[in-house]
Amino acid sequence: MSGLAPPRSPLPGRRAVVTGAGGGLGSAFVEVLRARGYEVTGADIAGAEVELDVCDAEACRRLARRLQPDVWVNNAGVLGAGTVSEQSDAEIERVVRVNLLGVIYGTRAAVEVMLLRGTGRVLNVASLASFSPVPGETVYAATKHAVRAFTLGMAAELRGSPVRLSVLCPDGIWTPMLHDRLEDPAASLSFSGTHLLQARAVAELGVALIESPRHRLLASIPRHRGALARLFGIAPNLFMAGVPLFQRAGRANQRRMLESIERGRR
């Protein structure tokens, strides 16, 4: 698990909130946390126990004050694949509001009650896209860059307090977010790895990060792709030179997955 120390037992209160819990990675977080003994409340705009629009700062505050969580996972996110010049204003605003403002509002709401209670862990889900350029998912990647920067900056502001913030940066995950993008060339870089991650494995790493005895600010999965993304982040010209190769690999993987799905339907 990316070098993390073995997790401790769950935090004393064992109350957790997971946003974006209506499916995909959010559902996996709910399952893993419950298996670890937490009392979990899943929140989403639909399909979860509690209805929550993460873009509503006051709604996030009300939920945090009512539930008094020990753990808060900001997982809600949208992809919004497409070139920036072709995306609508409404789509760009939606991606920025959900992916960035939703994390900021959720974190602030959780931290407010955690500081008063004297304990708490906040996990923000970013992406490997937070380290390097991702043409075709530029706005999405920009929000994930911002989530990483926000988490690390607020963690520094909270240094010395009983509240810990961490950020998880996974590669592409086989969830509904990518199910609908198998035929979308703009999303090809999300499929450029040798395989897509499984939501359960990512959630398990996230919970291990929350429970690690040593405060780990950041973890990426898989580690080798994380290292590559960091390299491209500091050497963007190198990345630009390789973009056509990565896009071709991603398109090939998309086609293979589509063919596999079609065979399974026959």
Respond yes or no: is residue 140 known to be catalytic: yes
Residue 104 CA, chain-centre distance (Å), reads 13
Rounded Cα distance, 169 and 36, in Å = 22
Residue 181 neighbours by CB under 8 Å, 6+ apart: 79, 81, 187, 190, 254
Burial of 251 (0-12, 13-18, 19+ CB in 10 A): middle
Single out the catalytic residue among 29, 105, 140, 246.
140
Q: Is 202 left (phi over 0), alpha (psi -120 to 50) or beta?
A: alpha
Q: Could you list the active site residues?
A: 140
